[in-house]
Structure 1
Amino acid sequence: MFSPQGPSALELLIQALSSVERGYDLLAPKFDHTPFRTPEDVLDACADALTGLGPFDGGLDVCCGTGAGLRVLESLCAGRISGVDFSAGMLAQARYAYPEAEYVRADARALPLAGAFDLAVTFGSLGHFLPAERPAFFAGVHRALRPGGVFAFPVGAPPPLASRAYWSAQGFDLAMRVRNALWRPPFVMYYRTGALSALRTDLVAAGFAMPSVTPLTALGRRDDGSPKYGLVLARRAATA
């Protein structure tokens, strides 16, 4: 799962026993050498799906981490691109990779941005928000967008009940719940808390129009022919 440049088992254990912020500060220098970074083919598929929705001026990568999503924004946005994250370590890595972008250190549940962006994206972040926290997260993104702005993020199709992926995700979430019941501070990262129906409900409650899902067919199909991934597109209503 990890390249030789990735973290050791001990480093991962220390990270898992830390808070989310501290854990990512520790992991940041080696994060891009782990399977936790969003794969290039997912980024490319999302960029392709967003190309026809522009033009976009300003772009925002929410929970930007080391900046994988900034490459998508660079290819789509004519104006400034920005990344926001609450891990100073991850932001330092992003600044090194994308020095032309602007950065804000902030908690995504209380984004200090308003009406400045035409496109917002997030990759691999939703598992870090409990269902009760998602409304604040989505409301902050809604505020950060200009009228008519688009919020986009990829989602994977639910794995079949009999698949290894399904039971691996279930096992991971159970381990995290046990860890958080026994150890403080908590480390919030769950795979099975973001059903598409719940995400849509929370996006609409935050002020977005009813989201659509664009199939990312370049990333493959399941045995039943349905796409393995889709891109959720939520738009802030345009003013008159």
Structure 2
Amino acid sequence: MFSPEGPSLRELAVQAFSSVERGYDLLAPKFDHTPYRTSDRILDATSAALRPFGPFDDGLDVCCGTGAGLRVLRPLCRGRVTGVDFSAGMLAEARRAHPDAEWIRVDARRPPFAAEFDLAVSFGAFGHFLATDRPALFTGVHRALRSGGLFAFPVFAPPRISSRSYWVPAGFDAAMRIRNAVWRPPFVMYYRTFPLRAVRAELTAAGFTVRTTVLPGFGRRPDGAPYARLVVARKD
């Protein structure tokens, strides 16, 4: 699961019994050597899908982690590129890897921006938000964008209930709920709490016009539905 440069089981255990912020501070130096880092394949597919909508001026990576999203923003944005995250450890790694970008420690539900960006992206972060947090998150991104700006992120079709890919994340979510019921501080990380129908409605309520586009190269399910889509939400 991890490369030799990745975290040990002991380090993962310490992270799991920390808060989300503290856990990612601890994981940050080795994060890019774990499967949790968004793959270049997903980033490149997102960049290709967004290219017809651009070019853009200023770009924002929401919950940026160690800065992988710059692989998308840099080719598409002509102006400044900014990443926001609440983990100081993740931001320190992002600064080391990309010193020419702007990195700000902030709660993504309350970003300190007003009409400053033309494109916002996010990768692999939504499992750290409870459903009750999403409206504030989407409203904050909407406020940060200029009129006509886009908020984009990939989503993947749920696996078949008969598959291992269905039961592994379902089991993880169940274990996380038990952990959070008996241990403090909570560690919010759930894989199956981001249904596209609900997310689309919440984005619309925040003021976005929402569409999706297929990300090619990830195949289709037996029923013909694509495995991967890009949500493209435009600020009206």
Q: Report the TM-score range of the alignment, normalised by the length of the smaller protein.
A: over 0.9
Distance 1:55 1:74 in 2: 11
Distance 1:74 1:154 in 2: 18
The aligned length equals: 236
Quote the residue 1:233 is aligned against.
232
Measure how far apart 1:167 and its partner are. Answer: 0.4
Distance 2:137 2:121 in 1: 12
Quote the residue 1:79 is aligned against.
79
The answer to whether the Cα contact below 8 Å between 1:41 and 1:219 also exists between their aligned partners in 2 is no
Quote the residue 2:55 is aligned against.
55
Distance 1:135 1:191 in 2: 18
Measure how far apart 1:212 and its partner are. Answer: 0.8
Matches within 5 A, 1:23-172: 23-172=23-172
Measure how far apart 1:11 and its partner are. Answer: 0.2
Measure how far apart 1:221 and its partner are. Answer: 2.2
The answer to whether the Cα contact below 8 Å between 2:156 and 2:227 also exists between their aligned partners in 1 is yes
The Cα offsets for residues 171-212 of structure 1, whole Å up to 9 and x where unpaired, read as 000000000000000000101111000100110111112x11
User: Could you tell me the percent identity over the aligned residues?
Assistant: 67
Measure how far apart 1:96 and its partner are. Answer: 1.0
The Cα offsets for residues 133-179 of structure 1, whole Å up to 9 and x where unpaired, read as 00000000000000000000000101101010110111000000000
Give the secondary structure class of the aligned counterpart of 1:52.
helix
Residue identity in the other structure for 1:111 = P
Give the secondary structure class of the aligned counterpart of 1:132.
helix
Residue identity in the other structure for 2:83 = G
Q: Which portions of structure 1, spanning 4 or more consecutive aligned residues, are displaced by more than 3 angstroms?
A: none
Distance 2:184 2:114 in 1: 33
2:207 aligned with 1:215? no
Measure how far apart 1:19 and its partner are. Answer: 0.4
Residue identity in the other structure for 2:223 = D
Residue identity in the other structure for 1:235 = R
The answer to whether the Cα contact below 8 Å between 1:42 and 1:219 also exists between their aligned partners in 2 is no
Distance 1:67 1:228 in 2: 25
Give the secondary structure class of the aligned counterpart of 2:66.
coil
RMSD, matched Cα: 0.7
The answer to whether the Cα contact below 8 Å between 1:62 and 1:122 also exists between their aligned partners in 2 is yes
The Cα offsets for residues 9-42 of structure 1, whole Å up to 9 and x where unpaired, read as 0000000100000000000000000000001100
The answer to whether the Cα contact below 8 Å between 2:81 and 2:101 also exists between their aligned partners in 1 is yes
The answer to whether the Cα contact below 8 Å between 2:111 and 2:140 also exists between their aligned partners in 1 is yes
Give the secondary structure class of the aligned counterpart of 2:153.
strand
Distance 1:115 1:27 in 2: 33
Measure how far apart 1:220 and its partner are. Answer: 2.3
Give the secondary structure class of the aligned counterpart of 1:167.
helix
Measure how far apart 1:132 and its partner are. Answer: 0.4
Residue identity in the other structure for 2:57 = D
Give the secondary structure class of the aligned counterpart of 1:152.
strand
Distance 2:217 2:232 in 1: 17
The answer to whether the Cα contact below 8 Å between 2:44 and 2:71 also exists between their aligned partners in 1 is no
Residue identity in the other structure for 1:230 = R
Distance 2:15 2:2 in 1: 15
Give the secondary structure class of the aligned counterpart of 1:150.
strand
Which stretches in structure 2 are left out of the alignment for 5+ residues?
A: none
Measure how far apart 1:219 and its partner are. Answer: 2.1
Distance 2:76 2:222 in 1: 33
Measure how far apart 1:222 and its partner are. Answer: 2.2
Distance 2:94 2:218 in 1: 26
